[in-house]
Amino acid sequence: MGLPNVGKSTLFNALTNAGALAANYPFATIEPNVGIVPVPDERIDKLAEMYKSAKVIPATVEFVDIAGLIGGASKGEGLGNKFLANIRECQIICHVVRAFENDDIMHVAKNANEAAAINPKADIEIINTELELADLETREKVAAKRKKDAADEQIPYLTEKPVIYMFNVDESGLTDEARKAELRALVEPAQAVFVNAKLEEEMSGMSHDEKMEFLKSYGVSEDALGELIKAAYRTLGLQSFLTAGEKETRAWTIKRGATAPEAAGTIHTDFQRGFIAAQVCSYDDLVRLGSEKAVREAGLMRTEGKDYVMQDGDVVEFRFNV
Ligand SMILES: Nc1nc2c(ncn2[C@@H]2O[C@H](COP(=O)(O)OP(=O)(O)OP(=O)(O)O)[C@@H](O)[C@H]2O)c(=O)[nH]1
Ligand SMILES: [Mg+2]
């Protein structure tokens, strides 16, 4: 989500390789673009190698790229704000903020036909005000429908969703720590990620290693899109556990604090219902010692019961009875 022309579709394409229209004019996106993205996790590749797995299945995140929102959208400016309904079902909002200069790419904020100055602080406020106004509209509609005070706690309000801010900076901005601190301060305690959408676009199609090598030439050591996905995971209180074997190695998403039977339930409801025990070792132990057998011999393979609280990177085999 964000103002028009800030690089949302460019980033979406870099994330998903989906080829959505990204264009040098405001409101290029009208209908939402949807794409599924694997959560980068080098652990599953390592395990797949160790177990000679036929398949590697990562955890995934679904991204939705929507139309640009503009000041006054609640009163119909730009494309209006009806399309915000597209993000009501999302768990988290990624707010893309333009922090790059380029006179060829028109920056619009409150008036779709007039170039505005690049001003991350003011731009963020414009968008957040529109979210508040959209929620207000929803509250009024709900109230009118029920002809009483809005008893509306099931309604997914936009301003209640967690937000990660993604600053689309220019090449110099990627390594300008003072500038980044300034931008980060605008949104704290929300998490901020810094990216150069143009560079990400140029890197699409490259392998992870090629990408990191290319970024290094700009003095960058972090993969921004990977950071975004990780930031989303953290913000939503998610973690992964792993299953590994000859057939497949796979990462599964669970809430932090989930118990072993709850984790089993993400694989199959039968696993949860018939849960007996979980055979668990940590990824680190497994990789350090090189095999399950070695982990067992070192006494680091545990049998855990139904009260066990899962840890990120647990490598698990469930025992169940149906
Ligand atoms: N110089 C520069 N140009 C960029 C950058 N990111 C995006 N652009 C360009 O800006 C234009 C708009 O990008 P889009 O990704 O279509 O923007 P959007 O936010 O999806 O815009 P709407 O769909 O119109 O809301 C495109 O021509 C991009 O190539 C960047 O980091 N640097
Ligand atoms: Mg777009």
Whose alpha carbon is nearest atom 11 of ligand 1? Answer: 24
Say whether both 90 and 140 belong to one domain: yes
Neighbouring-strand partners of residue 62: 36
Distance in Å, CA 23 to ligand 1 centroid:
6
Q: Which residue type does 122 have? A: A
Domain assignment present for residue 248? The answer is: no
Domain assignment present for residue 168? The answer is: yes
pLDDT at 102: 92
Last residue of a domain, one of 200, 235, 270: 235
Say whether both 113 and 201 belong to one domain: yes
Q: Are 118 and 99 in contact (CB under 8 A)?
A: yes
Binding-site residues, ligand 1, Cβ < 6 A: 2, 4-10, 22-24, 26-29, 67-68, 100, 102, 105, 168, 196-198
Q: Which ligand is nearest to the CA of 167?
A: 1
pLDDT at 153: 58
Domain range holding 285?
257-320
Instruction: Give, in order, the Cα–Cα distances in Å from 98 to each of 51, 74, 87.
Output: 44, 21, 20
pLDDT at 208: 82
Domain assignment present for residue 200? The answer is: yes
Tell me which H or E stretch contains 288: helix 283-289
pLDDT at 248: 96
Q: What is the C-alpha to C-alpha distance for residues 215 and 200, in angstroms, rounded to an integer?
A: 9
Say whether both 185 and 308 belong to one domain: no
- Per-run averaged pLDDT (10 residues), the chain, 322 residues: 96 83 82 87 94 93 92 92 85 96 93 92 97 92 74 79 96 93 97 94 86 90 86 89 97 96 96 96 97 96 98 96 86
Last residue of a domain, one of 235, 268, 291: 235
- Ion ligand 2: protein residues whose beta carbon lies under 5 Å: 8-9, 28-29
Among residues 80, 75, 68, the alpha carbon closest in space to that of 8 is found at: 68
Say whether both 23 and 69 belong to one domain: yes
Distance in Å, CA 311 to ligand 1 centroid:
39
Domain assignment present for residue 249? The answer is: no
Say whether both 165 and 269 belong to one domain: no
pLDDT at 158: 93
Domain count, the chain: 2
Q: Are 2 and 97 in contact (CB under 8 A)?
A: yes
Among residues 204, 201, 202, 199, the alpha carbon closest in space to that of 175 is found at: 199
Distance in Å, CA 216 to ligand 2 centroid:
28
Ligand 1: nearest atom to the Cα of 199: 31
